[in-house]
Every structure is written in structure tokens, then in C-alpha cells.
Amino acid sequence: MQEVELISFRLNGKDVSVDAPEEADLLYVLLNDLKVNGSKLGCGRAQCGSCTVLLDGEAIRSCVTPTKAAEGLEVTTLEGLTTDGRPSRLQQAFIDEQAAQCGYCTAGIIMEAHALLERNPHPTDADVRSALQGNLCRCGTHNRVVRAVLRAANEA
């Protein structure tokens, strides 16, 4: 039987604690225990990026990150980017550029793009494409995604 332990961290600015098996991946705890549904399970192998969240500001694949790794740290999901229910500048740019079709990959792409803009507030087209190369989108909205990230950077 798996041993369960209390794991505490900050989620989108709020302190949370969850009883989880030490091997439990962060994505499953976010979805099932904490009912935060922005991140999605895609491949389950850290290859598609749908599950991307920020761990102390760094983009990580939550489907392969043990929840224990978040102990005492800040986890930010797509929901954590809004302010008073309003989309962030980056989220609004995605809306304005119609950068999502099915939307399944969008949360992960936005989180990766957010981390990029934190590191590099004025990225080039090549910077954006390089940063997002690990985020897969089957709908083929990559050009609109790049435009949205550049738009958000230019509006800063």
C-alpha cells in the first residue's frame, strides 16, 4: 500500500495542503484533489506540454513531476494568471489573436509563454518559437500563438 503524506505548497497565491502518495504526480493532485482544471493530461510523458505549470516561476511538466517536489514552493496554473477574474495581458493576447482552436494545449502553451516573458520581456519571433517547441498543438495554430506572445510582449 502506498504511503500517504501531507504535502503543503502555495497554489496560485494561496496556501494548500493535500494528502497524497509521495509518488503522485502533481498534475493528478491538481486535477483530482485540488480541482484546478486548467492543466490537461496529454501524453503523460512530458512530451506534449499540455500539463505545463510554473513551479517557482519555472515551466515544468506536471504529469511527471512528483507532488512532493512542490513542497514549500509556489505552483502557478493558468487560473493563477488572472486578476479579479480578468485575463492577464498574455491570456488576452491569445483571445485577440484567436490563438486557440480546440484549446486543449492552450493552458500549457500560455504557461510556457508566461515563463518566457518573465525571463525575456521582449523576445524575438525565433525566441518564442524556440521556447514553445516542446508544446504540441494538433490544430496548427502555431503562427497565431507566436503572434499572441509577441503581442503581449509589445503591450508590456
Tens of pLDDT along 125-137?
999 999 999 999 9
Biggest CA–CA distance in the chain, Å, is 52
Domain ranges of the chain: 4-78, 89-154
| 58 within 8 A of 69, measured Cβ to Cβ | no
Mean pLDDT of the chain: 96
**C-alpha dist (Å) from residue 145 to 30, 48, 108, 112, 127:** 25, 15, 12, 11, 13
What is the architecture, at CATH level 2, of domain 89-154?
Orthogonal Bundle (1.10)
H or E stretch covering 114: helix 106-119
Span 4-78 CATH architecture: Roll (3.10)
**Which grid coordinates are listed for 115?**
515563463
Q: What is the pLDDT of residues 104-127, one digit of tens each?
A: 999 999 999 999 999 999 999 999
Indicate the angle between helix axes 89-96 and 142-154, nearest 10 degrees: 130
pLDDT-based confidence at residue 20 (cuts at 50, 70, 90):
very high
